[in-house]
Amino acid sequence: MASNKDAFDCANCKWGKHCDASNPASSEIFEIRLPGYNIKQKTCFLPEYDVDSSLWLRLYGNYKDGHLLNAGGISNQPAPYLEAMRLITWLVMQESESQRKTGRAQQ
């Protein structure tokens, strides 16, 4: 969402205001493409960003700095935690590549 802010401007929604289950789109028009699988749904992703999402992003900062959730190594970490860190890492890499291609990367 951060890399495509115009698409997530609720005041100027061009997707039909399919914000939640009370007004879903007729087909899966919202999609996140990931290596190996895609996440598709009939409602916007923006309302799903919440306190939990913010927590995962803070945990990613620690992960990036080499601090894991639990003591020990990778094998001592919960699978959902590792999956989330891999997903966020991939998304950050995609954004960095997008910025590099468009010349938006910070000097």
Residue 78: is its pLDDT beyond 80? yes
User: The whole model's pTM is what?
Assistant: 0.54
User: Do 64 and 58 touch, CB atoms closer than 8 A?
Assistant: no
Mean pLDDT of 79-88: 93
Mean pLDDT over 25-46 rounds to: 80
Q: Is the pLDDT of residue 104 over 60?
A: no
Question: Residue 106: its pLDDT value, please?
Answer: 45
Q: How far is 71 from 41, CA to CA, in rounded Å? A: 36
Q: H or E element: which one contains 39?
A: strand 37-41
